[in-house]
């Protein structure tokens, strides 16, 4: 390309002529050429490791002479956000030396269910025994037919509603009570902390009975299905043979579906809000970054931070990233816009815009209230979630064998089939046309349709929110479509539009009217 | 609520009766009650700091006796991803001891423009002098009327296309050349590294002439407008009085608009692709998390890592988070799905799913090729970007005063006006109705319409991509609408649908047909 050559030559000429005339005509600029040394990591001490073809222009030193000798051109920046982290580390270290640093994450009375047999997990691990913390509201009827199992999101405890013994408001306080969405006049509601958690149920912060040390990262990989199987041991303990309904949002929406798939004859109805039937790669990516930031905190210490300074900085930032995925752009546009926390101050690299101080605050509130290892294990369980038939069959195989040896079997691959879009079967085409009008390009994979076939006879409410980034609305459409294509004639699908809710994934915690109203109607 | 009380009493009774009968009927479970000690941070050594009302069930020890004494129930987890980071730290430390650790980020020949006067920045800082690295393609015509200034994204160098001296492919290799999108037979194309960057232009890794130390975080806050003002000093140096066009994508799309606003009589045409006229809080939030993760890396050392181990782990993870915002869910669904990197292995907390190894790889490739402080400063400049009139007036005021004292003035607030949605003016309603059919709810703030009034007579192409999360398509619609409402009759707005591109924000790097084609048509 001759054209290029000319361009460069032209500039080089310009450079030369300007250099020689610069002192005379006092142009403030010079054109020159930079040629770096071979390789990108040179040993030269010059800036950029580069040789410059110009000589230093006179006059510059004079211009700078009004600045004090050896004083920087600009002041150093302050980092109050890092100061705060260092202060907290020091406080936590002092506490660990004086009184042992372990927080009890549970903040009120809970019931405890203890299962004394070894419990084999889906990926081959074992819990020699486990406990489940749970709370209940309402009254169980005589034939135990009015029980609703309420599943939580990732970091929630069993405290969905205040109790006499723990009057603190729960995470679904306004959704539970007499004549509320979950009506305590009619239903007996059970909410548990999941296994792997830190609010009373067995998790990584607990003692491994085998060696009396904390599990830490010797805790086995758990799955959503493991959590549900443990919950059904509790139901067994309570003498409950069949749930009136399995209800949950977010991770709880995964569990709610998994309950029906694992125990189709023990689940009367399913409500799955802002959940999914298989985690998709974008959600995995967003959880991956949270786990990585936590694991990179040196205080995490590969999970063995108990008795030491916990990885509070990593936890804080993981929560900030999570918070970005919990809400939506339009909400923040209205709520924060481009306002700065203090517009009289110059911009800073520490939190500066109001949205940044909001995220910072969300991280601060969370960073010492949840066990970091629990976050890792439960976040991972969500990634592994896949109700497709292939994955279910692999898990069943591993459960039978009860050991890790089987997972080297090729049949256990989590890979989806090469041809996920199979032709419709006769059964499907016989269904009510209006219910199965699924456009070809949004047809769920056949593997998922087959995997949800167990829910064929269970009335199901699937809700999604258009502004949700973490569990986007197409995932709930996928669940509803897969259920219908699997032959379920009792699928109610509700999608809240951007106009109805701009609260993104968090809508299930906030929208009493749309979320609460639809759940109440569905439960009947 | 009496109903609740009954539920809890019922369970407590069950617990008592089961405890006494458990040894006989050998039920594997126990119901009990957990009462934590006062306060959430107890001193107790028991798990959860809680008192349990059950006694240890017999038989458990026997069940576990087949496991070796004092051996954990499950194996410890391996963390190859952390091992890799530690290995790299060690390598970098060894290098810094032997030969100085500073990489020359520039990887080939560039031209250098040097400006010898102190350059005052928008937020009151000063560069005693600066350099701009640039490259050119094509041939400048005799009246210098065929110059296109091409702006880069955050982390790109001036190397948009290969040159004779540097045959490596550039970041827009296929878009530049004879009869290409930017036609080197017709245009003389200039691409620069922005100030604040690390590819030859003055940035935080450079020496502050005032004290001969590296700027590090004593580098002043820069803005997008500062970058553009510096670029126009270069154009002055080249003798260019008016650009044929200002073209850019992503951050370059911001610069492209800013060039027109700052120098309306020096810009013939504007192309702004996947950019915006004001950063919105969601984008700020996503950049905030990247900056925070980098600043939390202990090796960042508040910016003073030169000569030591650079914060490679923080850089790697910052790039992983960025990569999540550069692509889209649908693309990853097709490309990676739920495939695991090695399905014969059990799940791990280190990268495991294919999408995770992809992110990990993206971080690996980047973490030593870009100066961490440059990332912080340029990322911050993007947050600060706002072409609204209020912000422009504040910046002009600060530029006049040339010092930080003015920024304490209330008139310099970055806060948007309380009533952003003003009535249309007569001028606007006189325009072609089809061009200004902006729905009331998507009408840009009046402050932005006023801020873009300077572009009234500049033909402008605004492109967006529906699958872009970082610079969502509504932002480019906002730019186009604001320009039209400001009276610009030559606005071309193109939005690529989800069907046209699922590559999200990265579309501008990849889509030769739709992006390249529209740019070529527009440039004429």
**DSSP per-residue string spanning B420-456:** --PPPPHHHHTS-TTTT---GGGPPPHHHHHHTGGGT
Q: Is residue A463 part of a domain?
A: yes
Q: Is residue B353 part of a domain?
A: no
What is the rounded CA–CA span in Å between residue B463 and residue B275? 8
Q: Is residue A122 part of a domain?
A: yes
From first to last of its 524 residues, chain B has per-residue pLDDT tens of 333 322 232 333 233 233 333 334 567 777 876 654 433 333 333 333 333 323 333 343 443 444 445 689 999 899 999 999 999 999 999 887 776 545 568 768 899 999 999 999 999 999 999 999 999 999 999 999 999 999 999 999 999 999 998 999 999 999 999 999 999 999 999 999 999 999 999 999 999 999 999 999 999 999 999 999 999 999 999 999 999 999 999 999 999 999 999 999 999 999 999 999 999 999 999 999 999 999 999 999 999 999 999 999 999 999 999 999 998 888 898 899 999 999 888 999 999 999 999 999 999 999 999 999 999 999 999 999 999 999 999 998 888 775 444 333 333 333 333 333 233 333 333 333 344 455 555 789 999 999 999 999 999 999 999 999 899 999 999 999 999 999 999 999 999 998 999 999 999 999 999 999 999 999 98
Say how many CB pairs under 8 Å bridge A and B: 542
How many residues make up chain B in this entry?
A: 524
* Active-site residue, selected from the candidate residues A297, A360, A468, A506: A468
Residue of B41, B349, B410 lying closest to A380 (CB–CB): B349
Q: Is residue B513 part of a domain?
A: yes
Q: Is residue A41 part of a domain?
A: no
* Number of structural domains found in chain A: 2
CA separation (Å) from A164 to A185, B6, B32? Answer: 17, 11, 17
- B17 with B131, same domain: the answer is no
Q: Is residue B324 part of a domain?
A: no
Q: Which of residues 395-414 of A touch B (CB under 8 A)?
A: 404, 407-408, 410, 412-414
Residue of A33, A285, A354 lying closest to B324 (CB–CB): A285
- B140 with B16, same domain: the answer is no
Answer whether residue A514 shows pLDDT above 60: yes
Contact call for B218 and A338, based on CB within 8 A: no
Q: Is residue A208 part of a domain?
A: yes
Contact A282, B469 (CB under 8 A): no
What is the rounded CA–CA span in Å between residue A267 and residue A287? 30
Q: Does B186 touch chain A (CB under 8 A)?
A: no
The whole-number pLDDT of residue B343 equals 86
The whole-number pLDDT of residue B28 equals 78
What is the rounded CA–CA span in Å between residue A476 and residue A468? 11
Shortest CA gap B479–chain A (Å): 16
Q: Per residue in A115-132, pLDDT tens?
A: 999 999 999 999 999 999
* Residues in chain B within 8 Å Cβ distance of A211: 70-73
Task: Output the domain CATH number for residue A468.
Answer: 3.40.50.1820
- B141 with B274, same domain: the answer is yes
Residue of B5, B50, B234 lying closest to A104 (CB–CB): B50
**Taking Cα atoms as reference points, which of A283, A220, A262, A482 lies closest to residue A391?**
A262
Q: Does A90 touch chain B (CB under 8 A)?
A: no
- DSSP label at A368? T
* Residues in chain B within 8 Å Cβ distance of A140: 7, 10
- A122 with A236, same domain: the answer is yes
Answer whether residue A242 shows pLDDT above 60: yes
Shortest CA gap A60–chain B (Å): 7
Contact B307, B282 (CB under 8 A): no
Radius of gyration of chain A (CA): 29
CA separation (Å) from A142 to A145, A146, A147, A188? Answer: 8, 9, 11, 11
- A410 with A275, same domain: the answer is yes
Q: What is the dihedral of CA B355, B356, B361, B364, to 10 degrees?
A: 150
A159 is catalytic: no
- A279 with A386, same domain: the answer is yes
The whole-number pLDDT of residue A106 equals 72
* Residues in chain A within 8 Å Cβ distance of B185: 3
- B144 with B263, same domain: the answer is yes
Contact A294, A490 (CB under 8 A): no
Shortest CA gap A255–chain B (Å): 19
A98 is catalytic: no
Q: Determine the residue of chain A that is closest to B22 in CA distance.
A: A116
Q: Does A297 touch chain B (CB under 8 A)?
A: yes
Contact call for A42 and B104, based on CB within 8 A: yes
Answer whether residue A465 shows pLDDT above 60: yes
The dihedrals phi and psi of A318, each to the nearest 5 degrees, come to: -60, -40
Q: What number is the average pLDDT over the span A162-185?
A: 96
Contact call for B220 and A73, based on CB within 8 A: yes
- A247 with A132, same domain: the answer is yes
Note down the domain range covering A266.
Answer: 111-284+381-523
Q: What number is the average pLDDT over the span A194-223?
A: 96
- The pTM for the full model equals 0.84
- B506 with B395, same domain: the answer is yes
Q: Is residue B100 part of a domain?
A: no
Contact call for B60 and A126, based on CB within 8 A: no
Q: What number is the average pLDDT over the span A252-259?
A: 98
Confidence of residue A441 (pLDDT cuts 50, 70, 90): low
Contact B133, B157 (CB under 8 A): yes
Contact call for A45 and B100, based on CB within 8 A: yes
**Taking Cα atoms as reference points, which of A411, A421, A476, A489 lies closest to residue A449?**
A421
What is the rounded CA–CA span in Å between residue A222 and residue A205? 14
Q: Which of residues 496-515 of A touch B (CB under 8 A)?
A: none
Contact B294, B487 (CB under 8 A): no
B320 Cβ partners below 8 Å, 6+ apart? A288, A289, A292, B359, B360, B362, B363
What is the rounded CA–CA span in Å between residue B435 and residue A98? 71
Contact B299, B310 (CB under 8 A): yes
Residue of A79, A114, A177 lying closest to B29 (CB–CB): A114
Q: Does B353 touch chain A (CB under 8 A)?
A: yes
What is the rounded CA–CA span in Å between residue A33 and residue A30? 10
Confidence of residue A371 (pLDDT cuts 50, 70, 90): very high
The whole-number pLDDT of residue A442 equals 73
């Amino acid at each position: 390309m001759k054209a290029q050559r000319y361009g460069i030559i032209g500039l080089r000429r310009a450079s030369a002529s300007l250099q020689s005339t610069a002192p005379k005509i006092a142009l403030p600029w010079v054109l020159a050429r930079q040629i770096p040394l071979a390789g990108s990591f040179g040993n030269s001490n010059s800036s950029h490791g580069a040789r410059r073809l110009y000589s230093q222009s006179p006059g510059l030193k004079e211009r700078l002479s009004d600045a004090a000798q050896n004083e920087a051109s600009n002041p150093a920046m302050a980092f109050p956000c890092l100061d705060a982290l260092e202060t907290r580390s020091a406080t936590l270290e002092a506490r660990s030396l004086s009184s042992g640093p372990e927080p009890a994450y549970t903040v009120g009375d809970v019931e405890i269910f203890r299962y004394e047999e070894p419990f084999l997990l889906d990926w081959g691990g074992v819990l020699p025994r486990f406990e489940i913390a749970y709370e209940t509201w309402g009254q169980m009827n005589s034939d135990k037919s009015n029980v609703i199992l309420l599943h939580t999101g990732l970091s929630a405890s069993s405290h969905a509603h205040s109790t006499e013994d723990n009057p603190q408001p729960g995470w679904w306080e306004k959704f539970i009570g007499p004549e509320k969405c979950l009506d305590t006049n009619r239903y007996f509601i059970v909410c548990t902390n999941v296994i792997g958690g830190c609010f009373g149920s067995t998790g990584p912060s607990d003692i491994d009975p085998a060696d009396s040390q904390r599990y830490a990262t010797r805790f086995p990989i758990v799955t959503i299905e493991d959590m549900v199987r443990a919950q059904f041991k509790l139901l067994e303990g309570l003498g409950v043979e069949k749930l009136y309904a399995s209800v949950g949002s977010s991770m709880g929406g995964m569990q709610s579906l998994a309950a029906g798939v694992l125990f189709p004859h023990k689940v009367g109805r399913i409500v799955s809000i802002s959940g999914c039937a298989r985690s998709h790669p974008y959600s995995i990516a967003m959880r991956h970054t949270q786990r990585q930031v936590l694991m990179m905190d040196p205080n995490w210490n590969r999970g063995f931070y108990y008795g030491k300074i916990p990885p509070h900085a990593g936890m804080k930032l993981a929560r900030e990233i999570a918070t970005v995925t919990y809400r939506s752009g339009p909400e923040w546009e209205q709520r924060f816009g481009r306002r700065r926390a203090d517009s009289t101050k110059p911009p800073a690299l520490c939190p500066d815009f109001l949205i940044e101080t909001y995220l910072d605050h969300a991280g601060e509130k969370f960073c010492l209230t949840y066990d970091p290892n629990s976050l890792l294990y439960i976040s991972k369980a969500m990634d592994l979630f896949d109700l497709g038939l292939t994955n279910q069959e692999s898990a069943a195989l591993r459960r039978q064998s009860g050991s890790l040896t089987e997972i080297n079997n090729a049949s256990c691959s989590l890979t989806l089939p090469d041809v996920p879009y199979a032709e419709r079967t006769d059964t499907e085409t016989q269904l009510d046309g209006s219910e199965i009008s699924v456009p070809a390009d949004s047809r769920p994979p056949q593997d998922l349709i087959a995997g949800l076939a167990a829910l064929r006879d269970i009335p199901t409410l699937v809700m999604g929110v258009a502004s949700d980034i973490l569990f986007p609305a197409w995932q709930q459409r996928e669940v509803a479509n897969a259920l219908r294509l699997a032959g379920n004639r009792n699928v109610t699908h509700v999608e809240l539009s951007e106009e109805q809710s701009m609260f993104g994934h968090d809508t299930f915690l906030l929208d009493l009217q749309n979320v609460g109203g639809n759940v109440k109607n569905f439960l009947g």
